[in-house]
Amino acid sequence: MLTKTIVRKVVNSTIRPASHMAVLSRREIEQLRDVTGTGLHKLFRKCALAVLSSGSQVDSCEELMSMYPDFDIQVSERHQGIVLEVNNAPAGAFVDDQLIEGIRYHLFSILRDILYLRDITSNHKNISPNLQISHEIFYRLRHAGAFHPGVKPNTVVCWGGHAIPVEEYDYTKEIGYYLGLRGIDICTGCGAGAMKGPMKGAAIAHAKQRHKSGRHIGLTEPGIIAAEAPNAIVNELIVMPDIEKRLEAFIRLGHVLIIFPGGVGTMEELLFVLGVLSHPENKDIELPIFLTGPASSGPYFDSVIRFIEMTLGATSLNLIRKVIGDPELIAKLVNDALLHVTRERRQRDDSFHYNWSLHLDEAFQEPFLPDHESMAKLQLSRDLPTQVLAANLRRALSGIVSGNVKEQGINAIREHGPFQITGEPELMQAMDELLTSFAQQGRMKVQGDYIPCYEIVTDSTA
């Protein structure tokens, strides 16, 4: 007796998502590829085949799998987002080799909910603490709709002071205008001054260019909102849990950094990114940094550069480029830098929307709670690795920001007096000169005379 062989039509295809599920974390992709008992591949394969067999009269998972034993579905990461590679899928789900839209919706719905179920039931034991934090930041940004898959690198992060002179504010607005004429999006700390100016300039330029999808992203955190309340131009406001996650979000979401004149907070941000980029694992990462301001801000940047050279050294200094008094040139340089970033992301096959390749040590991720004890214990010596020194200097400045503007820090200073910052004599002298120059330039306090919330103490044993 002859056995009749049933030949079923199958299709191989690449399926692109039409939803926010175009963006998955590295951890989620690993789970979907994992074929072990703890992975999600087997479950996703079964569910996907059921969806692709929509309309079939088969009501048994086992029978369906036996009908399509060679069916497989794999998640592949691209710099513009993820795609699903399906092999030997039921042909009835396709029209002219294109997946039916309703089935595409169902396919990515099950992907979304399988991952969500795993996320709320898994304790992530197999992932290191620093990667857990990077994934948490990714999830928060995705939840806020911050990722636009398929869009080439186009986001410029602007850091600078919220209380700056009119001339400097006008300059930041000019920079934003020339960036906006080129269709570039702006991300800032969402406050006033150097955070508002670039957005305002870009908004005008976007309107002139009839660019209706211009993004003005504001990243903040609860402890600083009172000092830097969101300006009215922000059209995407994202609140991160603490200052460290806010800073990491900036450098993973943004593609180029512009540093305008500012105070201690701006210096804290600059030390953060220089410290991260100083790590040996990040030596090939493209994250261009420009320092710029009007001609009158020359003394400010001279102080900043002297401090970086004295503390972190020439290697860190080579990571930044200073351009004074030329907004249009900065816009052209930024536009060119975005092209370099795009090429580099493609070469590494890293996503455009989230810089996964950056390595961050725990020192840049663990929340630092500045009080008198933690500030006094900070190790500040040039004998430390560059990235460790940068992390500790960043923490010291974070404590000063807290003592200047945050309720908890102000109350601590009021009760126990100034924070004590101790370190190597030459390094402490450099810090004292930097902070004194900020005070003399009126960058430590919006109005009135500044009373320091800190004392610089030379470590006699250093």
- pLDDT band for 60, please (50, 70, 90 cuts): low
Domains of the chain (ranges; CATH) run 10-127 (3.30.1850.10), 138-362 (3.40.50.450), 372-458 (no CATH)
**Two tokens, residue 456:** 């610089």
Can you give the pLDDT at residue 29? 82
**Two tokens, residue 56:** 């079939």
342-373 pLDDT, tens digit per residue, is 999 999 889 999 999 999 999 999 999 999 99
Averaged over 120-128, what is the pLDDT? 55
Crossing angle of helices 407-416 and 386-405, in 10° steps, is 80
289 with 319: CB under 8 angstroms? Answer: yes
Residue 296 DSSP symbol: G
- How many degrees, rounded to 5, is the angle at CA 251 between CA 248 and CA 257? 140
Reply yes or no on whether the pLDDT at 113 is more than 50.
yes
Averaged over 259-273, what is the pLDDT? 96
190 with 233: CB under 8 angstroms? Answer: no
Crossing angle of helices 41-52 and 101-121, in 10° steps, is 160
Distances (CA, A) of 83 to 99, 118, 121: 13, 20, 25
- With tokens 């670039």, the residue in question is 198
Which candidate, 184, 157, 211, 151, places its Cα nearest to that of 342? 151
151 with 81: CB under 8 angstroms? Answer: no
- Please list the residues that pair with 133 across neighbouring strands: none
Distance CA 117, CA 444 (A): 48
pTM over 0.85: no
Distance CA 33, CA 120 (A): 19
185-244 pLDDT, tens digit per residue, is 999 998 889 999 999 999 999 999 999 999 999 998 877 775 667 888 999 988 888 999
- Report phi then psi at 254, rounded to 5: -85, 165
- With tokens 């930097």, the residue in question is 434
397-418 pLDDT, tens digit per residue, is 999 988 887 878 888 999 999 9
Instruction: Return the amino acid letter for 227.
Output: A
408 with 289: CB under 8 angstroms? Answer: no
Averaged over 41-45, what is the pLDDT? 86
